Structure 1
Amino acid sequence: MNPFPESDTDNCEKMVACFRDLKPEELTLISSGKTELTYLAGETLFKQGAFSTHVLLVMDGLVKVYLQAGRDKQLNLQLAKPGDFLAFASVFGETVHTTSAIALTDTQVCMIDKENMRQLLMNNAEFAMRITSRNFRDERQLLTVIGNITYKQMRGKLASALLYLSGYEFSGQEVFPHLSRQDIANFASIATESTIKFLKEFERDGIIVLEGKDITILDRSELEKTERLG
């Protein structure tokens, strides 16, 4: 983890649409307690159970957010991309991280003082609504994860994970080359061996194409059907 030289990156608040309408004094408030850092691929941004002191804004790169459910068991919850906030619960009094996050690619992050963020949310209702809208998308993904675990068979779980990881919000991002088969299995909450088996079945059925670690979706409607029936 290395601090970015100041000349190498624009200010955090200038890089995300939700900051675009802030007043100069509000931008100054956010800037006064921020630190800009880079994490190399494979480095941990924060760990489940550690103290949560800042809100993290992803400026560049991809970050895997997961729940550690035992020594050898992970449940992948979210793939964060530029413009996403992490550890936002700290603004509302959560003192420790409830999840862990690891950089899948070299990742630029802006760490914002949680008290400054809380003050901004309390004083600017329009900004608070924009942030709430962003966080609702993450909540919806968590509900999908819960529903998959509870109700779906393995094929449906994997189909749901593939649809999420290839969704429109990741357009322009190369996601699958940065994910191992175990990572995909952890997004689907199934065994790695089952993931490999069903990926080959999906390819045989003409739904996807496998090329090394990369996965190309050929028939999204069929994948959606598998998700519904799963």
Structure 2
Amino acid sequence: MHNLNDQDLNNIHYKHRRSLNYNLKLIANYKATSHLIDLEKIEKGHFLVEERKHVHGIYFILKGKVKVFNAGFDDKIKILRLVSKGEIIGLSSLNASHYWSSAVVVEDVEAYFIDLKNLKTILKTNVKLSFLFVNALALKLQHYEMRQKYLSFFQSTERIVDALLLTAYKFGEKTSEGLEFSVGTSRKDIAAFANTTKENVIRTFSKLKTNELILIEGKKITIKNKEALIDQLKKYSKLKNSTQDFDFFYPNLFY
């Protein structure tokens, strides 16, 4: 049994301008507070959280890749976001009794797990750390709202291009050929992320390959000309008179 008091958390020399990762590591490594955070390793295919199941805590991703999704009213799977190092799983369900979405590991994960009781202790005790959590949640909401704005008027082709760019940004690596990724590349996943059909994805991929914008080798996709794909989205935005946010905000935020 740990006799934790407010002073234990306040004794930690938090760095307000440093990342949430840095400050959580301080808690995990400080003897009086290390019991508040567990370091977990989760293999590919395992769930971190599941839709409609009771909220038990949050995960802060240190390494690996995660897919967040839920089932629509027609039970059709919709991918909501892709998560990698430095992001949080489960925070948006903090004040709910059940998780709103599921999160499955698509590449082995190493993460800090903080259960609900310990998280509330941390948030109530230290204002600086609470601010970092609020900032992380606000950034997530900002990303979501901006992307939804454009997805609302993008046609199927543009939504597929957007899904490709975002998957490459989250899960890809730069190579001499371009931006290369092999996680989240299935036609089914891209369709679920772009809210379209697998057939539309296959047709769009074929056009992009013909125009030498992407290269497909088995499960691996390489984006050869990222700028051309972004320009394709920009041109469509002009037709809808909605280029200001796109030019100055959208590409920098996501791609």
What is the CA distance between 1:152 and its match in structure 2?
1.1
State yes or no: 1:200 paired with 2:206: yes
In percent, how many aligned pairs have the same letter?
Answer: 21
Would you say how many aligned residue pairs link Structure 1 and Structure 2? 214
Match of 1:124 in 2: 126
Quick one: structure 1 residues 25 and 217, their matched pair in 2 at CA, closer, same or farther if it must change by over 3 Å? closer
Q: Which has the larger radius of gyration?
A: 2
Q: CA RMSD, aligned part only?
A: 2.9
| DSSP-derived class of the 1:115 partner | helix
After TM superposition, the score normalised by the length of structure 1 is: 0.79
**Residue from 72, 77, 81 that aligns with 2:80:** 77
Quick one: structure 1 residues 153 and 86, their matched pair in 2 at CA, closer, same or farther if it must change by over 3 Å? same
State yes or no: 1:102 paired with 2:107: no
What is the CA distance between 1:170 and its match in structure 2?
4.7
State yes or no: 1:31 paired with 2:34: yes
What is the CA distance between 1:227 and its match in structure 2?
2.0
Match of 1:113 in 2: 115
What is the CA distance between 1:19 and its match in structure 2?
4.7
What is the CA distance between 1:27 and its match in structure 2?
4.8
Separation (CA, whole Å) in 1 of partners of 2:127 and 2:172? 30
Separation (CA, whole Å) in 2 of partners of 1:120 and 1:175? 39
| DSSP-derived class of the 2:165 partner | helix
What is the CA distance between 1:66 and its match in structure 2?
0.5
| DSSP-derived class of the 1:105 partner | strand
Quick one: structure 1 residues 19 and 163, their matched pair in 2 at CA, closer, same or farther if it must change by over 3 Å? closer
Separation (CA, whole Å) in 1 of partners of 2:219 and 2:172? 18
Equivalent runs, 1:41-52 vs 2, <5 Å: 41-52=44-55
Structure 1: tracts of 5 or more residues without a match: 1-15
Separation (CA, whole Å) in 2 of partners of 1:198 and 1:25? 46
Match of 2:195 in 1: 189
Structure 2: tracts of 5 or more residues without a match: 1-17, 238-255
After TM superposition, the score normalised by the length of structure 2 is: 0.72
